[in-house]
Structure 1
């Protein structure tokens, strides 16, 4: 089903891209747009994960450099029946996280230092379970390629201002076609991108709760991350807003409304859904974390509200520094 959804999405976005090309340059413009779309799809499939990680200056860690964090991800991947993803840490004070990669065999998960220092181990487990749910559902590929094509459609619409404004025979619809290319097509692409992102967040919340076995771990983490995202500006995300939908909470400032133009559902709605899931399931969902994951004795096994990096300079610097 996920493969069918991805194929339909790519077909729609590619058709929309070709339509904008036709509005700008007629049949020739449509064929050029098709060639560009095919090239962008191939490039995104193989390289988008590396680009996103590089945009946010993510550094890969392992069991030696970030033992507690790495073991949590490993335990959750085992719970989900997934291959061990690559694990990254982003030196950024805003609490947040995302997953990327074209398939579970080539996946990566990343968390900011702000998330690891502010959240308990149980909350971190809830967050990373959510990200692994995106990997399992193949959302990372879908969202990445959608973002790439949506950006390209907007760019092509802007080109219409310069190359489609004249009375050339290559533009079959004249000024009306130009307006559609500039306004309607980019808006349609953006709405599709946002609608898919919002839907997949709810699905990943549910599956993530199943992976870690405790819906309230993720519910508690979402509240902390949302408050932190409002207080701390993520400069890398502000410079690369096309990647905002990949984060567990919108990293951009001033965009927390659950409306048509939001990349994420309202945090309150997500928390309420997780709380309802907890009530329906009773005490947890069964299973929970394996022995090497979070313990009931306190976050990170040390009883501190901060992450394991608090031993290295009061939570300001991690073992990857």
Structure 2
């Protein structure tokens, strides 16, 4: 908890320092003041707006997942399969040196799994009924190792911090652009006070453009996390297990099986599946399966 608070504090300070430096270097401070913009207050507003939504989503992420997927948390295993699943997660969590997460199953034909939760000690690993029925246990162990590594690496908190930072820039810069656009439209109108319609149009359009750019950044980082999670699974579950899991998913994908049923897009960054190529690949939270397989094959065998 202390590390997360420190990371959040450092991130906030870094964002403030960077934005302040940009304003000073570009001499925007005098122009913003002349335009009636209190930029220090705008900075604080942007930080609050940027981080509040991200951390609220993180705080309720487990609840959201359970509601969105109707996840049945396994408190007391009722079948041999449930007992194996819980014991496997417990073993992998111990190897990763994290607290035992909650384990749940949701009914879906998709072949998938995800991890979510506000912290390493308060997390959830959920698997679909489709995954349990369509791949073997060694492959499932690789998938579980991947999700446990997401928790161990603190990916939920890291993604929240990154989303908060880019949100802050989007909020702040869109309002600056809105002022610039409004000033351009109102040239020669010396009697007008305050902002006009141009501000809102410029802010709206720039929020869309900057939001798309921010999505590219977040998606790129998410794809890098997947390679690390694959490597972590190879370490705690075995390289053969993770490779077999990815190849099994690739085979199912090529065979037309349901890899993702599309529910709850907010959780897609923590799923195991990949996305199609092309332009949309820039917005994909996961790299293509063939790239993940190739990266994993390059890893040296564990000693």
Tell whether the structures are fold-level matches, with TM greater than 0.5.
yes
8 Å CA contact 1:94, 1:114 repeated in 2: yes
2:216 aligned residue: 191
| CA separation of 1:96 and 1:17: change in aligned 2, threshold 3 A | farther
Q: In structure 2, how many angstroms separate the alpha carbons of the residues matched to 1:13 and 1:215?
A: 39
1:221 aligned residue: 245
1:201 equivalenced with 2:226 (yes/no): yes
| CA separation of 1:85 and 1:189: change in aligned 2, threshold 3 A | same
Give the stretch that moved more between structures: 93-102 or 268-277. Answer: 268-277
1:43 aligned residue: 56
| CA separation of 1:218 and 1:115: change in aligned 2, threshold 3 A | same
1:123 equivalenced with 2:149 (yes/no): no
> Larger radius of gyration, structure 1 or 2?
2
Question: Paired residues, what number?
Answer: 271
Per the TM alignment, residue 232 of structure 1 is displaced from its structure 2 partner at its CA by: 1.8
1:204-251 Cα distance to aligned partner (Å, 9 max, x none): 111111011x212111212333454653274452xx32321121114x
8 Å CA contact 1:77, 1:83 repeated in 2: yes
1:265 equivalenced with 2:284 (yes/no): no
Per the TM alignment, residue 130 of structure 1 is displaced from its structure 2 partner at its CA by: 0.8
Per the TM alignment, residue 154 of structure 1 is displaced from its structure 2 partner at its CA by: 7.9
1:231 aligned residue: 257
1:182 equivalenced with 2:222 (yes/no): no
2:28 aligned residue: none
Choose from 92, 101, 115 the match for 1:76.
92
Report SS of the residue matched to 1:83.
coil
Q: In structure 1, how many angstroms separate the alpha carbons of the residues matched to 2:165 and 2:226?
A: 20
Per the TM alignment, residue 30 of structure 1 is displaced from its structure 2 partner at its CA by: 5.2
Query: How do residues 279-298 of structure 1 correspond to structure 2 at under 5 angstroms?
Result: 280-281=300-301, 285=302
Greater fraction helix = 2
1:129-168 Cα distance to aligned partner (Å, 9 max, x none): 11111111100222245557768988999999xxx99767
1:99 equivalenced with 2:112 (yes/no): no
| CA separation of 1:29 and 1:257: change in aligned 2, threshold 3 A | closer
Per the TM alignment, residue 258 of structure 1 is displaced from its structure 2 partner at its CA by: 8.7
1:246 aligned residue: 270
8 Å CA contact 1:63, 1:70 repeated in 2: no
1:312 aligned residue: none
8 Å CA contact 2:47, 2:168 repeated in 1: no
8 Å CA contact 2:175, 2:203 repeated in 1: no
Q: TM-score, normalised by structure 2?
A: 0.71
8 Å CA contact 1:97, 1:248 repeated in 2: yes
Choose from 119, 125, 128 the match for 1:112.
128
Q: In structure 2, how many angstroms separate the alpha carbons of the residues matched to 1:144 and 1:135?
A: 13
1:308 aligned residue: none
Q: What runs of 5+ residues in structure 2 fail to find an aligned partner?
A: 23-31, 187-192
| CA separation of 1:11 and 1:174: change in aligned 2, threshold 3 A | same
Q: In structure 2, how many angstroms separate the alpha carbons of the residues matched to 1:93 and 1:155?
A: 39
Per the TM alignment, residue 46 of structure 1 is displaced from its structure 2 partner at its CA by: 2.3
| CA separation of 1:134 and 1:33: change in aligned 2, threshold 3 A | same
Q: TM-score, normalised by structure 1?
A: 0.67
Q: What runs of 5+ residues in structure 1 fail to find an aligned partner?
A: 287-321
Per the TM alignment, residue 178 of structure 1 is displaced from its structure 2 partner at its CA by: 2.9
